[in-house]
Amino acid sequence: SAVISQKPSRDICQRGTSLTIQCQVDSQVTMMFWYRQQPGQSLTLIATANQGSEATYESGFVIDKFPISRPNLTFSTLTVSNMSPEDSSIYLCSVSDGVYNEQFFGPGTRLTVL
């Protein structure tokens, strides 16, 4: 199974600033995903990070707010731009791998916006 690391693990940011979250996988994977999980809630898919092309965003999420990079098959970044307190959440990356195309998740980045 894939092993995923994320940086930073947590951050406290000021309103109006931006934060870039990194996701590193220990093997090459085709599909990488970014999710948001608000406290006590389920996971909501933000976008699929595509290697060599633009990310595919889910309804309610736009590239200007959540730009994503995927320079190779082991790495991706998610930027949360022009942050507001409503962006306070846990952001998780995942990869689709394994026999059942199950997803393996990184440990998450806990973001607090003041």
Partner 1 sequence: GQQVMQIPQYQHVQEGEDFTTYCNSSTTLSNIQWYKQRPGGHPVFLIQLVKSGEVKKQKRLTFQFGEAKKNSSLHITATQTTDVGTYFCAPNAGNMLTFGGGTRLMVKP
| Contact pick of 12, 38, 107, 112 for partner 1 (by CB under 8 A) | 107
Tokens of 104: 């393996």
**Residue whose CB is less far from partner 1, 33 or 66:** 33
What distance in Å separates the CA atoms of residue 24 and residue 106, rounded to the nearest whole number?
9
Other beta carbons within 10 angstroms of residue 99's beta carbon come to: 6
Q: Shortest approach of partner 1 to residue 92 CB, angstroms?
A: 6
What distance in Å separates the CA atoms of residue 76 and residue 40, rounded to the nearest whole number?
26
The DSSP letter of residue 87 is G
Binding string to partner 1 for residues 10 to 49, with x set by CB under 8 A, is what?
---------------------x-x------xxxxxx--x-
Q: Is 76 in the site for partner 1 (CB under 8 A)?
A: no
